[in-house]
Structure 1
Amino acid sequence: MQLGYFWSFFCFYASVFFLYLGLTDCALGGNETDRLALLEFKARIPHDPLGVMSSWNDSINFCLWQGVTCSHRHQRVISLNLMSLQLAGSISPHIGNLSFLRELSLDNNSFSQEIPSEIGRLSRLQYLYLLNNSLSGGIPSNLSGCSNLIKFHVYNNQLIGEIPIEIGSLLKLKVFTVSCNNLTGTIPASFGNLSSLDILAAGENYFSGRIPNALGKLTTLRKLFLYMNTFSGTIPPSIYNLSSLTDLYLAGNPFYPGSLPSNLGISLPNLRHLGMFQAQLIGSIPPSLSNASNLELIQLQLNSLTGQVPTFGNSLGLQLFSIEYNFLGNGGASDLNFLSSLTNATNLRVLVVGDNNFGGMLPERIGNFSTTLEIMRFNDNHIVGNIPAGLQNLINLIVFLAPGNHLSGNIPTVIGELKYLQILTLSFNELSGRIPSSVGSLTNLYEFSLASNNLQGDIPSSLGNCQNLQKLDLSYNNLSGSMPAQVIGLSSLSIYLDLSHNRLSGVIPLQVGSLKNLNVLNVSENMLAGEIPSTLGSCVMLEFIFMQGNFFRGPIPSSLSSLRGLQELDISNNNLSGEIPEFLGDLIYLKVLNLSYNNFEGVVPVGGVFKNASRTSVIGNSRLCGGTPEFHLPGCNFKHSKGKLSLAWKIVISTLSGLLCLILVLSSYFLFLTRKKRNEPASDFAENLHLMVSYHSLSKATDDFSLANLIGAGSFGSVYKGILDQSGMAIAVKVFTLVRHGASRSFTAECEALRNIRHRNLIKILTVCSSVDYQGNDFKALVYEFMANGSLEEWLHQKPTTDETQETPMSLNLLQRINVTIDVACALDYLHHQCETPIVHCDLKPSNVLLDHDMTGHVGDFGLARILSEATQDLPASRTSSVGVRGTVGYAAPEYGMGSEVSTGGDVYSYGILLLEMFTGKKPTNDIFKEGLNLHNFVRAALPDRMPEIMDPFLLREIVKWENGGPGGCRVRKSLVSILEIGVACSAELPHERRSISNVVAELQSIKNELLGARGHRTITL
């Protein structure tokens, strides 16, 4: 008995002992499993610019590796948090071996490829954060194995396929966000089982079918985002009974027409955000909505709502109220009574009620709105009466739109008190009186339109103070007097200037030449006289010119030949005379030309736009002849024409002119050969060029190198615009100041670099001139194709200001900037990898990037360029350490300052800085960059979460417009983050960490394509 008892006792404790050993072995083995799994995870991350993975080595315990957290008891990995560390790669399937893992946070990186299905083995996992990456593939169906999952975030990736129905078995799930992907199918009805669900976000995908009625069972649901999909059918009534809802966004789906329930504000008492725009809503806005006292955002625009708008006196926290594009109101005097109730909303920022049927008057109490109000839109209604003077109290107002109404009376002078106003549009009303001179105080004004009113008097010259004005429309009024030079010379005007259909008189001031970036000029149907000013030819961005119905006289100025982007020109019904210039037929973009009812004479050209008689009108000019048969003009016969030269004389004059030109060229050539200076590269280079020019030709082309034609200056010389007599070609002449040390070498280097290279994104050199001037001094110049839109520097920083938030008068939009970055990258890729011998530019910066008429970027100024061929290592052009820093401070690679040799990596660094400057609007030499802070670090520290804080304010405003007007907002923002990350990678301090320029071209092109693809995807700002 005792022996049996002893044996039982022994067996029990032996079992316990061996069980302990087994558990210990398992724990030790588990630790090793975790370590190996982490190393496999590390192996899938090839891009680690911050060196996060450098701590993941055997010198310390893996529990101390950056981002890794272990449990105290078992020393097993329970958390892997690597968010916002700029990592790129794929997620290793070995992640599934971290069996104790509770949190996996990889958000705000660049992970790609699929979500590994092995994650489904992590039964203890509670938090899975993969948002803001580039993950593809589908959501693993075995994710249901993560039975303890609480939060699942994959917002803003590239996931495809359907949501697995198995997700409905995750009973502990509280947050499920898959917005901004490419998911299809519908929301599984099994989601009705997720009794703990707090947030369901699936907006901006391609879901279709009906929203399952089972979602009405989610009694704990607070936020439901299903906006911008293709859901159809009706909105399940059960959704409106989820009393816990604070945010409801069903906008942008093609539902069957349906109405908001009458008890909406009662059944959803906690509602804060109501996003139901473009949701096929009919009926009225339920008065009960005012009972939802927590309301902050109401977005009901783009529906078919009717009736009166209820008051919102209880919605004290309302910030955004948008009901535009409906059929609300009936044109009655009480339609706008609801506005008075909004004076209680002390945080109101946006009030948008345009495009409805509202009648009545704008109440005087409008001046009692919150001073936080920034946007008010009343456009296209039936509003009558005066503009309330109390408007002046809204001191933070940025946008005020009330066109398309019946407003009358004078424009109140107090409008000038709105110092932050950027858009003021009151067109298509019945306003009278004068334009108050106080509008000149609106120095932030971007768009100003008073078209189609009954305004009288002069155009106030004070408008010239509005240095940010890009759009000005005063057409269809009774304005008189002359055009103020201060307004006509407002160089910020870049989109349109429309003064048509008034009674303006006098001449067009010569200051019109300051409108170098203007796209549309319309001064038609006035009483303007005098000649068309020749300075109009300086407005090289003009695409549309309308000057018909005036009293202009004289010929068409030859300077208009510079308007290479002109698409439409109407100068009909004037008193213009002379011959029709041939250059109009050379303007390749000119599609519509109206010269009718003038006094033109002579031959009608036959090239270009003149080939199409349906788009060209010359009627009403009785002394014209020739042209295409469709014009039905008489043939030209100059045999007895008075004052015309005979054919013989023309031949004699042409022959003598040709001989004289030949003598000049030969004289210059032989004089050039006798020079003792070393300029052989220029001579060799010129032998292969078709265009030969002399000093005399260039002097004449540039009006003796006058300051009026000076378009730029650099270290070694100046650049002038010119027109060659023999061809009428617009050129840019770079004249080297040879008395400056290094200028002659710069001339030689540029000739050498440009000898045999050709690329669409490199500045095209037409010829060189190495001669002597009229005083016998050496003269060296390069002749380039003229770039109509100047330099990138001018577009980014035309008017330097200490206010970094102030928008520049000329601003490139988002796509234009992306295009230019691609153009410059393509140019560098060609120089570095596609030339017979690599060429390093050595001075890449915005002032050396030039833009042609269609805003294509061209890299120029090769004065510091270096050719990296072995055969030229001993030439001065290849020496590096003896010449100090190559390039310009701020753009030159840091290794150049330490005597390192010139390399293609130096150009990549300069490119990265240029890219960051383009999208932040800050120069690398900005005053804020000191004490170790530079542009590179400034951007890197802000990415990705604080990207809006560092963006160029102009671009940031455009992003908001994109978000509200069309493309997917999250995709636009992600694209901008990706672009800035490329700039950061290219401008890394160490050369070996910089991106390959070839890869940069491919990445930027991919970003552009994705951005263009997002245009059809609408979103809202949450």
Structure 2
Amino acid sequence: MEHIDFPSPKFPTWHHIFTIVLLLCSYNRVSFASNNETDRIALLEFKSGITLDPFGVFSSWNDSIDFCRWSGVTCSRRHHSRVTVLDLNSQKLSGSISPHVGNLSFLRELRLQNNSFDHEIPRQIGRLHRLRFLELSNNSLAGDIPRNISGCTNLIGIGLRNNRLTGQVPRELGTLLKLQHLVLMANNLSGSIPPSIGNLSSLEDLYLTFNSLSGSIPGALGQLTKLATLTLGFNMLSGTLPASLFNLSSLTQFDVSCNQIHGSLPATIGLTLSSLEYFNVASNQFDGSIPFSISNATNLRVLPLEDNNLSGSIPSFERLHNLEWFSIRSNHLGSGGSHDLSFLCSLTNASSLKELNVMENRLGGSLPQCIGNFSITLTALGVSKNVITGEIPRAIGNLVNLEKLYVDGNSLSGTFPLDLKNLQNLTYLNLSNNKLSGVLPSFLHNLSELIYLYLDGNNFQGHIPPHLDKCQRLLSLDLSSNNLSDSGIPVVTSLFFLNLSHNHLTGALPKEIGEMKNLNYMDISGNMLDGDMPSSLGNCAVLVLLRLQDNLFQGSIPQSLSSLRGIKILDLSCNNLSGGIPRFLEAFDLEYANLSFNNFEGSLPTEGVFKNATAAFVIGNEMLCGGIPEFHLPKCISKNSKSKRLVHILILSIAITFGLLGVALLPFLYSCWLKEKRKEPISSPGGGTWQNLPYGILLRATNGFSSTNLIGIGSFGSVYKGILENGTVVAVKVLNVTRHGALKSFMAECEALKHIRHRNLLKILSVCSSIDYCGNEFKALIYKFMVNGSLEEWLHHHQEPTEADGPSKSLSLLRRIKIAIDIASALDYLHNHCHSQIIHCDLKPSNVLLDDEMDGHVGDFGLAKIVLENTPDTNSKISSAGLRGTVGYAAPEYGMGSVVSREGDVYSYGMLLLEMFTGIRPTDESFKENLNLHNFVVEALPARVLEITDPILLQGRKNYACHSRDNAVQECLVMVYGIGIGCSVGVPRERMSITEAGTQLCLIRDKLHAAGLQG
């Protein structure tokens, strides 16, 4: 074989080295140019996914300048102009996130929060191995969280808050060992919390609030030794709290509120979690006592323990000097003993205390004098609905910054506390339903900030305090059920709610009563008022309810009352009124009219409310004639028919005689029949989940279903106020069983309410399925009584205000938002958290009731549909009737035969929300052709947001650009309308979920709080 010699190696010459360097540089330039081009193309692809750019962010994204100088783009010099940061937050951008973002391989920060990006999070983000911060919060992103996000091994922070993400929390997140902040709150995530989260040893903040997570909290979270924030509230979590969580000494914020967690709180909680600043376990099922060690967590600022089953005595909080908000409302704390309230004195050490709420417990004894030593920062004090006795301490006058004082529903005695005159900031004062006596002080008119004054249900005597008209912000005044004997009715022009019923008032109604042009509810029944009804009463043109019964009024009904076109309930019974019944009442949309036991004469009208003998009552007017046959009045006799009158009288006398004989025999016949009937068992509807109250109890509770107790008339029956034998005040919904669909409505409402329990749903207490004393079928539902009526009454009581009208006469902005949150919370529960999904089908303001705290409760489930469990067919629903809601609120797809759905309820909610803030009904006559409330708001935003807003919300704010608080209000209004629009779009699948709507409203509420807005 021939031998081949390889040349011997030689050292390279300078010429060789120079040539090699040139080649390498040329190669790198090509490589760098290629990589730069990849980034540029990826950015342009990202731009192509943008559908809305109101600020012109992408105007600089063109070839005229280097892409590293494009708006929102940051490049690294170290890595030869590769993109490291893409920050386009808060630019109001719309569109989708391009998958090409995954080609930005040097990206360290992706910040797109506070925009309107939709569609899914692209899976290609998992390629960004250098990514440290992924911030996509406050968008409309949908779909699952990509599981391959675990490929971003350098992630420090993930922010996906307030989107529409679904599916489960990926267990793969547990591999991101550098992760410090994980924020997934306010989405639609379901399933359980993956135990793998416990592997994130660097994690400091975990936010999972406002989702639909279920199952128990994994004990593995106790391994997160650096965890400072753990928020799991507003989910469906159950089970008990893992003991390992109480070893996380680094925890400062702990929130598991609004879940279904049970068990007791550890006795050592204040020792092991001594760094706590925020501890919220409200609205769960915790039992046992409040741990005495809680006082060791000396950094605590917020401590809500409300709405649980806690019992026993309340410990001292003497070491909680930083406490700002403390609530134990709605538990079973206390024993009714004399020392139950001794813990209050320990709270005098909290120098920043703002809100203290111990309402709805079993606390006894008297209020200690030490409450006068509370911090002057205290703005709200609530001790309502306990068993507190004794007098209200004079020292309460020291709380000079107090804005809300609730002491109602106790057994407090003594006179009106004179030291309350020092509380010049009071807006809400409720002393109702106690045993207070004496005269009302004259200084009440000096409390010029008062908005709500409730003194009803006491033993106050003497006159109504003069000069209450100086309280120019006063909206609600209730002095009913006392022993007041004044001869004057207060004329407070700002009022929309006035209740002076069941006193001993005398004299005539003043003609100045017509100055109360915003009056929506007026009840002065059960007094001794006399004289004529003043014609000026017609100036109260927005009256919805007028009760004047059981007085001594005389004369005729003034013609001026024809201007009361919005009135729904009119009761003039049991007076000495005379003359004819005016024909203008026929044109009113009255739901209830009681003119009984007066001296009216002439023919009874036959139109309007007088076409319904169950809604109009005229008994006891001997000279009335005509009307529909159901009233059983004699026919009206013409002048040329007088000769026949004697014959008619004779026939009538004979008929009455035989009728009386029949009535005399009826009890005997009925008792025989009833004995046989009672042998038959009466099953309780809805599976027997409530006690079946006897008919007789309801008869006594409602004073024989007296018209004076009637509080409303609905599609399938009437609602009466009643007081049961144990003193419980109830609302009794009596079904009109002869009405088509009424029985189905009854069964649907029973079925819908049988298994549900939520603080914002109207609480059913019992049912009655029986036979009345005439042998007729009788069915009724008994609910907890809501003292503040319906949202409808509060929204539409006022006229278009002018500059001279003064301050706000209606629900405040913040109160409307809180009620909207209550409604959303109730719907979210019905749609997503019930054993079987429930569709309400008739959401509207009149079906939202307000309790004494003005919290919203969704009621009237007569049209509800229940989606059956384990049934794939979406048509398989229990339905009360073929109806699908109310015009204006019913989803448009229902009119085309679509089955009921959660999205249909969301549409109704969206229309209700827009109505709440514009003050305009969806059925307003100004909406013609293709214009509706939804389109009306869309066309106005954002430039004309103040023009479309209910003027009552804007009174006193002439220039919304002058103050930061006003700017926040304007921004929040735009956000609220955005939610209403998102819920009421025409296409069901494009509507916002009710969970998201509630979440966003909570954020708006918090923003207003941060801006200093109160109310």
TM-score under structure 2 normalisation?
0.68
Q: 1:396 aligns with which of 388, 401, 411?
A: 401
In the alignment, structure 1 residue 975 sits paired with structure 2 residue 976: yes
Q: 2:82 matched to 1:76?
A: yes
Q: Is the 8 A contact 1:791 1:850 kept in 2?
A: no
Give the Cα separation in 2 of the matches to 1:437 and 1:912: 47
Q: Does 1:210 align with 2:216?
A: yes
**In the alignment, which residue of structure 2 is the partner of 1:261?**
266
CA–CA distance in 1 between the matches of 2:319 and 2:105? 52
- Percent of pairs with identical residues: 45
Asked if residue 856 in structure 1 is aligned to residue 924 in structure 2, the reply is: yes
* AA at the equivalent of 2:466: S
Question: Could you tell me how far 1:911 is from its partner in structure 2?
Answer: 7.1
Shift of residue 566, structure 1, vs aligned partner: 2.0
Q: Which residue among 137, 159, 162 is the counterpart of 1:156?
A: 162
Q: How much has 1:61 moved relative to structure 2? A: 2.1
Task: Deviation per CA, 1:667-722: give whole Å up to 9, x if none.
Answer: xxxxxxxxxxxxxxxxxxxxxxxxxxxxxxxxxxxxxxxxxxxxxxxxxxxxxxxx
Aligned length in residues: 752
Instruction: State the match for 2:179 in structure 1.
Output: 173
2:773 match: none
Pick one of 305, 310, 324 that aligns with 1:305: 310
The answer on 1:915 being equivalent to 2:917 is no
Q: Deviations over 1:107-150 (max 9, x none)?
A: 11122221111111111111111111111122111111111111
CA contact 1:508–1:528 (8 Å) conserved in 2: yes
Distance 1:112 1:947 in 2: 31
Q: Would you say 1:193 and 2:212 are equivalent positions?
A: no
- Residues 615, 477 of structure 1: alpha-carbon distance in 2 compared, 3 angstrom cutoff: same
Contact kept, 8 Å, 2:945 with 2:974, in 1: the verdict is no
Deviations 1:507-553 (A, max 9, x none): 11222223333221100001111122222222232222211110011
Structure-2 residue corresponding to 1:103: 109
Aligned to 2:141: 135
Partner of residue 145 from structure 1, selected from 151, 176, 182: 151
Counterpart secondary structure, 1:298: strand
| Structure 1 residues 113 and 9, CA gap change in structure 2 (3 angstroms) | farther
Over 3 Å counting, the alpha-carbon distance change for 1:791 and 1:169 in structure 2 is: closer
Could you tell me whether the CA contact under 8 Å between 2:432 and 2:455 is conserved in 1? yes
Choose from 122, 125, 130 the match for 1:124: 130
Task: Letter of the 2:596 partner, please give it.
Answer: S
Q: What is the Cα deviation at residue 46 of structure 1?
A: 2.7
Write the distance in 1 (CA, Å) between the matches of 2:984 and 2:574: 50
CA distance in 1: counterparts of 2:420 and 2:400, whole angstroms:
10
Which of residues 385, 389, 394 is equivalent to 1:384? 389
1:90 maps onto 2:108 in alignment? no
Tell me the alpha carbon deviations over residues 490-513 of structure 1, each in whole angstroms, 9 at most, x when there is no partner.
23212x210001111111122222
In the alignment, the residues of structure 2 paired with residue 260 and residue 915 of structure 1 have an alpha-carbon distance, to the nearest angstrom, of 47
**For the residues of structure 1 that align with 2:481 and 2:997, how far apart are their CA atoms?**
38
Q: For 1:308-457, what aligned pairs fall within 5 Å after superposition?
A: 308-457=313-462
Q: 1:64, CA displacement in angstroms?
A: 1.9
Distance in 2, matches of 1:194 and 1:576, equals 79
- Report the counterpart of residue 563 of structure 2 in structure 1: 562
User: Which runs of no fewer than 5 residues in structure 2 stay unpaired?
Assistant: 643-792, 822-843, 846-886, 889-916, 929-934, 1007-1015
Question: Which amino acid in the other structure matches residue 524 of structure 2?
Answer: V
For 1:408 and 1:278, locate their aligned partners in 2 and report how far apart those are by CA, in whole Å. 32
What is the CA-CA distance between 1:591 and the residue it aligns to? 1.9
Please list, as runs of the form range in 1=range in 2, the aligned pairs for 1:588-667 lying within 5 A after superposition.
588=589, 590-639=590-639
Classify the secondary structure of the residue corresponding to 1:577: strand
Change (3 A) 1:1003 1:389: farther
Cα RMSD of the aligned pairs, angstroms, is: 4.1
Counterpart in 2 of 1:492? 494
For residue 52 of structure 2, give the secondary structure of its aligned residue in structure 1: coil
1:473 and 1:433 mapped to 2: Cα distance?
Answer: 17
Q: In 1, distance between residues paired with 2:49 and 2:921? A: 46
Match of 2:69 among 64, 72, 97: 64
CA contact (8 A) 1:796 1:808 kept: no
Q: Which residue of 1 aligns with 2:739?
A: none
* Superposed CA offset, 1:351-382 (max 9, x none): 01100111122222212111111111111011
Equivalent in 224, 233, 242 of residue 236 of structure 1: 242
- AA of the residue aligned to 1:510: K
Q: State how 1:739-778 maps to structure 2 within 5 Å.
A: none
What does residue 459 of structure 1 align with? 464
| Distance in 2 between residues matched to 1:50 and 1:149, nearest whole Å | 30
Amino acid at match of 1:916: L
Q: Structure 2: which amino acid aligns with 1:628?
A: I
Q: Counterparts of 1:790 and 1:187 in 2: how far apart (Å)?
A: 42
> For 1:219 and 1:331, how far apart are their aligned partners in 2?
43
Counterpart for residue 291 of structure 1 = 296
**Counterpart-to-counterpart distance in 2, 1:572 and 1:925:** 38
- 1:450 and 1:473 in contact (8 A); partners too: yes
Kept after mapping to 2: 8 A contact 1:228/1:1017:
no
Q: CA separation of 1:393/1:566 partners in 2, compared to 1, >3 Å: closer, same or farther?
A: same
Partner of 1:6: 10
> Structure 1 residue 34 and structure 2 residue 102: aligned?
no
Counterparts in 2 of 1:1010 and 1:475: CA distance versus 1, 3 Å: farther
The offset of 1:920, in angstroms, is 10
Could you say which residue in structure 2 is the equivalent of 1:54? 59
1:951 and 2:952 correspond? no
Residue in structure 1 matched with residue 753 of structure 2 by the alignment: none
Q: 1:440 to 1:947 in 2, by over 3 A?
A: closer
Residue correspondence of structure 1 range 542-581 to structure 2 within 5 A: 542-581=543-582
**Offset at residue 213 of structure 1 (A):** 2.0
Separation in structure 1 between the aligned mates of residue 936 and residue 607 of structure 2, nearest angstrom? 47
1:308-337 CA-partner distances (Å, limit 9, x unpaired): 111111111101001000011111111111
Q: Which residue of 2 aligns with 1:828?
A: none
Task: Give distance in 2, aligned partners of 1:605 and 1:914.
Answer: 46
1:158-185 CA-to-partner distances (Å, cap 9, x unmatched) read 1111122211111111111111111111
Change (3 A) 1:249 1:78: same
Quote the offset at 1:70 in angstroms. 1.4
Are residues 564 and 58 of structure 1, via their aligned partners in 2, closer, same or farther at CA, if it must alter by over 3 Å?
A: same
Equivalent residue runs for 1:759-908 within 5 Å: 795=800, 798-799=803-804, 807=808, 856=924, 858=926
Kept in 2: contact 1:285–1:309 (CA 8 A): yes
Instruction: Indicate if the aligned counterparts of 1:975 and 1:1011 stay in contact, CA closer than 8 A.
Output: no
Q: 1:300 to 1:1011 in 2, by over 3 A?
A: same
The equivalent residue for 1:252 is 258
Cα distance change, pair 924–545 in 1 and its aligned pair in 2 (3 A): closer
Task: Please give the alpha-carbon distance, in whole angstroms, between the structure 1 residues aligned to 2:241 and 2:984.
Answer: 45
Contact 1:493-1:809 within 8 A present in 2 as well: no
**Contact kept? 2:800, 2:951, Cα under 8 Å:** no
Give the aligned residue type for 1:156: N
Q: Is the 2:208–2:231 Cα contact (8 Å) retained in structure 1?
A: yes
* Higher deviation after alignment, 131-140 or 274-283: 131-140
In structure 1, what is the Cα distance between the partners aligned to 2:413 and 2:955?
51
| Aligned CA distance change for structure 1 residues 909 and 254 (closer, same or farther; 3 Å) | closer
Q: Residues 568 and 591 of structure 1 are in contact (CA less than 8 Å); yes or no, is this contact kept in structure 2?
A: yes
Alpha-carbon separation, structure 2, partners of 1:155 and 1:129: 9
- 1:627-646 per-residue CA deviation (whole Å, 9 max, x = no partner) reads 2333222222233689xxxx
Deviation at 1:414, TM superposition (A): 3.0
**Counterpart contact for 2:406–2:430, Cα < 8 Å:** yes
